[in-house]
Amino acid sequence: MFEIEEKINTLRKELNKHNHNYYVLDNATISDYDFDLKLLELQKLEDENPQYFDANSPTQRVGGTITKNFENIIHNNRMYSLSNSYSIEDLYDWENRMLKIIGVEKLEYTCELKYDGASINLTYKKGSLKTAVTRGDGFKGDNVTSNIKTIKSIPLQINSKEFLDEFEIRGEIILPFDGFHKMNEERIKNGEEAYKNPRNTASGSLKLQDSSEVAKRPLDCLLYHVVTDNTKYQTHFEILDAARKVGFKVPNEIQLCKTIDAVFEYVKLWDKKRSELPYEIDGIVIKVNSLHYQNEIGFTAKSPRWAIAYKFKAEQVSTILQSITYQVGRTGAITPVANLEPVELAGTIVKRASLHNADQIEKFDIRINDTVFVEKGGEIIPKIVGVDLEKRHTDAQPIKYASHCPDCNSKLQRKEGDAKHYCINENGCKTQIIGKIQHFISRNTMNIDGIGNETVELLYDNNLIKNYADLYDLELEQILPLERMAQKSAENIIKGVENSKQIPFEKVLFAIGIRFCGATVSKKLAKHFKNIDNLIKADFETLKNVDEIGERIAESVVSFFKNQTNMELINRLKNNGLQFEIIENNTAVSTKLEGFKFVVSGVFSKFSRNDLKKSIEDNGGKNVSSLSKKTDYLIAGDKMGPAKKEKAEKLEIKIITEEQFIEMIS
């Protein structure tokens, strides 16, 4: 039996090596025929000896697993989106912000091509691929491991001793042009409709239920980022080079740049050369090379501060503006929408585009039947960027902006200094009411399972809900008679509403829909005021003095709680048991640091940076990202930039060591 096991393991190693040579190194060392013979031999041995089954065997790449419903998995480390830049001035501004945060005079960067595909997060433990999860909303995504295993450039097994024992590696699933065109030729030959573009086809492939169908598609995976707590590697470039050496397909186009000017030369080079690539790119990603500095610089609510995307000029087309309609948002904001003669743009048919506001229409002097130029803002949302005045009809009239709400016909208002017009009939305008409820039940707020946007409309139209507080009065007997409502669906709604009572205060605060209070602001307010009653009592000056809360937010919060209807809704939610106070973290050790603000900078011997920040919060202190007059202490470790020390001294901020911090909390 030992000989059989040894033969199986030898064949697996050999086939994995041939896969790597062919799909990663583009250097085949065996014919397809010989490879297939070895694969068949291995398959036969595995079938006859099931005790040696291995989920990461090369035989598992052919697929065959059927997945009806893809499991939702929470990411251990959030998958952030990147902020965008479009000029060298944007890059200089970005660099200056980072230099200010970490207090050094210069930084080194890595530049990578921005691949246009579907993001994936691969988790490896002890050398084996464990899970492959889509980006999803950044917080959680779909488990597509069975489908990902069919992509031959992704190693199912690596030598962890030569790299890391446990880590995540992120990349982009792409469909190279050659494979895409061959797929379309086959589809056309079979009388089927051709796929529109490689990106959407790659993304759609990941959610096919039959993994054997995925295996037939020539998908590839380009990897560009490793997430780990291990401090073995010091730079982004170094860790990617090490990943490449153990078998990951890390593109060779990655380049080290010593200055922003060198970064911009790289950008210009690939803007010219991108047509030579075998796959699509839509820009360049620039990252701070030092992993230590990445930790120092940190994240905003949406993006890493230490990385930015430089977007190439978007594809632009011209078409006819047929009409303008007006949409009402949940806050009452009115957005004009251009209805266009359908035109293909970046692989999709575009029929509508955003016009933003009245100022935008006036700026371009847009008129009905004009020939307009359209491009995709950030490659996602189509927008009008100009008018071909030479093709304008002589009788074209300037557009008169809407004066009344398209939904409830209330007169629109526009405050001085505000770009948007608003419908102020917030409690009588159907679109606003439904929008508020849809926001309340969404994944990032109350996350009520069983209710989607269409269900909200159904419940509203049947007079079962008129606001989000009404959700908590729903009964099974009321829901069951509704059109297309099965027993299980109705039960899921009731269960989802009940479960939402456990959602923490900061998300409830975001859910109730105070204008200008997004997820980050809501979290700050919840943390500062501890409960809803303290927040309700806070006046304009008190709110304005909270860190990072400006006049506009303070004014909006005061206005929201002055509204009697809003107060009635909050009282109803309170009575239904929703969380309206912070549940104090039971890891709190003391209040010794209460009222003190800390900046943590450098490398430490007794704490990891995250543990040090946690210790500050556990003892009542507050972490802030940059030095200011409001900072009380700078905890200085090794490799802290001299400029940061100089700034702290100039602001008369007390600089302490790791040991002195330990004395403070002991």
CB 317 within 8 A of CB 343: yes
Per-residue 3-state assignment (H helix, E strand, C coil) for 140-179: EEEECHHHHCCCCCCCCECCHHHCCCEEEEEEEEECCHHH
Cβ within 8 Å of residue 546, ≥6 positions away: 524, 525, 528
Contact 525/518 with Cβ under 8 angstroms?
A: no
- CA–CA separation, 57 and 70 (whole Å): 22
Distances in Å between the alpha carbon of 221 and those of 24, 119, 150, 172? 9, 9, 11, 6
The rounded distance, in Å, linking the Cα atoms of 321 and 256 is: 46
Identify whether the C-beta of residue 228 lies closer than 8 Å to the C-beta of residue 167. yes
Catalytic residue from among 17, 114, 245, 639: 114
> CA 404 to CA 421: how far, in whole Å?
10
Q: Which two tokens stand for residue 306?
A: 């230490």
Joined tokens for residue 171? 């990349």
> Do 471 and 497 touch, CB atoms closer than 8 A?
yes
Residue 298 burial by Cβ neighbours in a 10 Å radius (0-12, 13-18, 19+):
middle
User: Two tokens at 615?
Assistant: 């210790």
Give the DSSP letter of residue 136: T
Please state, in angstroms and rounded to a whole number, the distance separating the CA atoms of residues 573 and 553.
23
The CA-atom distances, in angstroms, between 328 and each of 64, 276, 302, 412 are 47, 44, 25, 11
Q: What is the dihedral of CA 72, 73, 74, 76, to 10 degrees?
A: -160
- CA 295 – CA 297 distance, rounded (Å): 6
Cα 213 to chain centroid distance, Å, stands at 28
SS3 call for 549: coil
CA of 634: how far to CAs of 326, 589, 618, 666, in Å?
51, 21, 18, 18
Judge contact between 362 and 343, C-beta under 8 A.
no
Contact assessment for residue 399 and residue 324, using Cβ atoms and an 8 Å cutoff: yes
Q: Are strands 622-623 and 597-601 parallel, antiparallel or unpaired?
A: parallel
Q: Which of 641, 574, 659 is nearest to 101 (CA)?
A: 641
Structure tokens at 282: 């839509």
Is residue 436 annotated as a catalytic residue, yes or no? no
Q: Is residue 502 within 8 Å of residue 579, measured between CB atoms?
A: yes
Q: What is the Cα–Cα distance from 99 to 628, expressed in whole angstroms?
A: 15
540 membership: H or E segment, kind and range: helix 540-544
Compute CA distances 203 → 129, 175, 217, 284, 615, whole Å. Answer: 20, 9, 12, 20, 41
Written in H, E and C, the secondary structure of 489-534 is HHHHHHHHHHHHHHCCHHHHHHHCCCCCCCHHHHHHHHHHHCEHHH
**Which three-class secondary structure state does DSSP give residue 260?**
helix
- Which residue shows structure tokens 């990655």? 254
Residues serving a catalytic function are 114
